[in-house]
Amino acid sequence: MAQVPLKKKKRRAPSPPAEPPAPGRFPAVVLCLVEKRMGASRRAFLTALARAKGFRVDGAYSAAVTHLVSERNSGDEVARWLAQQRGERGPGGDPDPGPALLDLSWFTESMSAGQPVAIEPRHRLRVTGPAAQHGWHVAPYACQRRTPLAHSNQALTEALETLAEEAGFSGSEGRSLAFTRAASVLKALPRRLGALEELGPLPGLGEHSRRVIQDVLEDGVSAEVQRVKLSERYRTMKLFTKIFGVGVRTADRWYQEGLRTLAELQERRTKLTRQQQAGLRHYDDLNTPVGRGEAETISRAVQEAVWRFLPGAAVTLAGGFRRGKLHGHDVDLLITHPEDGREAGLLSLLVSWLDSQGVILYQHSQENSYEGPEPPRGEGVLDQFERCFCIFCLAAPGGPAAGRGWKAVRVDLVVAPISQFPFALLGWTGSRHFERELRRFAKHERKMVLNSHALYDTRRSLFLPAASEEEIFQHLGLEYVPPTERNA
């Protein structure tokens, strides 16, 4: 009796076991055969042949594989297959350049020789871009990429970000952005970069950035970056811009006037705003990172205070902490209420009450200046929510400021009506570069204007409402990127 279906199944060659019984006669060589186009039965045959000759052949791809052999596949196809196997977002920190991608010719010659033959250029599959060989398909906009908090190219991104900062200090916004973009691309790479050539034609990497990368890869440091870090100009600008309320222009003016230290700033009775005075008074505390625990304590305290005036209102921790950071320079809190409009007037009640409790060391509020759904005039405008820039007095019993039992912490309070909340949340989660890229993508690729209040489609002349961040990504035709992967 013919059992057709069963026989059909039986004819399919079984996959080779995932791990071979013995390491093989050639410990430096671990083979893996790509089944695509080769077919399962031929693969099983070739596997058995090689094992019989003492080669280690693994049934599945792993980091141990040194020689990846395929038949009738293009180099790009195999590179893509490999990228999938390795998991494009796999754990970083692995400088391993990956296996050699080989044509069957290497395999047959090695079988005839009874040992692995030296790899020659003709054995290698041709991959169009070196980056493709490593599975590095980096999308051009940061909002199209997933950028986790931890990545494998810290030394490189730090060097580039120092230069970005320095360019910002000298008012060269374009140059600053170029370095920031380059750093952001490296943050999205799945592994540590071993050589500049591995990068290939990745987007957003200019000549200057490549030179810096090469220096750091070769010497461990970039002489240019070292020079910047030691320069009086950079160090002074950094010192001054770390004062709450001091931007690049003010810091630059002080530098031009010959000021170099915080003490000089105070001695010379430089005219300071109320905000800058508070910034200077609490300089050390405000430049001590805020821990996640501290952020959560503050978030809970604000939530409780909010309920005194508006039960049902919700407080959401946004900013870097929402992206999974363990430390931040401030605490960003968004406040909303499930009924549109109920949130109006809440902020001043909240701040007065916190003040009466001795929580507020400094605050300045800004009224809601959003004029409703009018087609946006320009982009890049700061959002116009009712908000309060504060310095809180946080009880810190065992903390770094244990001696006095409290610590000054920067807190941003922002109130958004529920109808705009998803836009506010998206806008206040960051990172800054991710936000900038979202808006750039919306403008150039979709002819839409995105800000922290709304999304406007200029081609159809209409606002696109959204009840969640996911819906905003959908409107933009972008794959959803969760907060923890927005660390661009």
Sites of contact with Mn ion (CB under 5 A):
319-320, 328, 330, 332, 412
94 labelled catalytic? no
| Cis peptide upstream of residue 431 (ω within 30 degrees of 0) | yes
List 169, 385, 392, 428, residue binding ligand CTP (CB under 6 A): 428
Query: Which residue's CB is nearer to ligand CTP, number 191 or number 433?
Result: 433
Nearest approach, Cβ of 154 to Mn ion (angstroms)? 21
- Tell me if 258 sits within 8 A of 367, measured CB to CB: no
Structure tokens at 427: 């806008």
- Tell me if 68 sits within 8 A of 104, measured CB to CB: no
Query: Which residue's CB is nearer to ligand CTP, number 110 or number 452?
Result: 452
Q: Based on C-alpha coordinates, what's the Rg of the chain? A: 29
- Tell me if 222 sits within 8 A of 155, measured CB to CB: no
The span from the first CA to the last CA of the chain, in angstroms, equals 64
Query: Which residue's CB is nearer to Mn ion, number 168 or number 319?
Result: 319
List 9, 249, 432, 459, residue binding ligand CTP (CB under 6 A): 432
Query: Which residue's CB is nearer to ligand CTP, number 125 or number 347?
Result: 347
Please identify which of the residues 76, 94, 412, 457 carries the catalytic annotation: 412
Residue 148 interacts with ligand CTP (CB under 6 A)? no
Residue 430 interacts with ligand CTP (CB under 6 A)? yes
Query: Count of residues binding ligand CTP (CB under 6 A)?
Result: 16
Query: Which residue's CB is nearer to ligand CTP, number 66 or number 275?
Result: 275
Q: CA-to-CA distance for 374 and 394, rounded, in angstroms?
A: 40
List 161, 215, 435, 485, residue binding ligand CTP (CB under 6 A): 435
Residue 320 interacts with ligand CTP (CB under 6 A)? yes
Nearest approach, Cβ of 485 to Mn ion (angstroms)? 17
215 labelled catalytic? no
Exposure string over 132-163, b if 16+ CB within 10 A, otherwise e:
bbbbbebeebbbbbbbbeebbbebbbebbbbb
Please identify which of the residues 330, 340, 355, 383 carries the catalytic annotation: 330
Instruction: Give the bridge partners for 422, in sequence order.
Output: none
Query: Which residue's CB is nearer to ligand CTP, number 382 or number 462?
Result: 382
Residue 43 interacts with ligand CTP (CB under 6 A)? no
Exposure string over 447-470, b if 16+ CB within 10 A, otherwise e:
ebbbbbbbbbbeeeeebbebeebe
Residue 294 interacts with ligand CTP (CB under 6 A)? no
103 binds, among Mn ion, ligand CTP, none (CB under 5 to 8 A by kind): none
Neighbours of 221 (CB within 10 A): 13
383 labelled catalytic? no
* Tokens 């990846």 belong to residue: 68
- For residue 138, what are the contacts with CB-CB under 8 A and spacing of at least 6? 131, 145, 185, 188, 189, 202, 203
Q: CA-to-CA distance for 39 and 263, rounded, in angstroms?
A: 75
432 binds, among Mn ion, ligand CTP, none (CB under 5 to 8 A by kind): ligand CTP
User: Closest residue to Mn ion, Cβ-based?
Assistant: 319
Nearest approach, Cβ of 390 to Mn ion (angstroms)? 11
Residue 325 interacts with ligand CTP (CB under 6 A)? yes
| Secondary element (H or E) of residue 46 | helix 40-52
Structure tokens at 161: 């970000």
Please list the alpha-helical segments (H only) found in 220-325: 223-230, 232-241, 248-256, 262-267, 274-281, 283-286, 292-309, 319-322
Query: Which residue's CB is nearer to ligand CTP, number 420 or number 452?
Result: 452
List 85, 276, 420, 452, residue binding ligand CTP (CB under 6 A): 452
List 35, 103, 165, 332, residue binding ligand CTP (CB under 6 A): 332
Residue 383 interacts with ligand CTP (CB under 6 A)? yes
Nearest approach, Cβ of 72 to Mn ion (angstroms)? 53
Reduced to 3 states (helix: H, G, I; strand: E, B; else coil), residue 364 is strand
As annotated, the active-site residues are 330, 332, 412
Given the rule CB under 6 A, which residues bind ligand CTP?
319-320, 325, 328-330, 332, 382-383, 427-428, 430-432, 435, 452
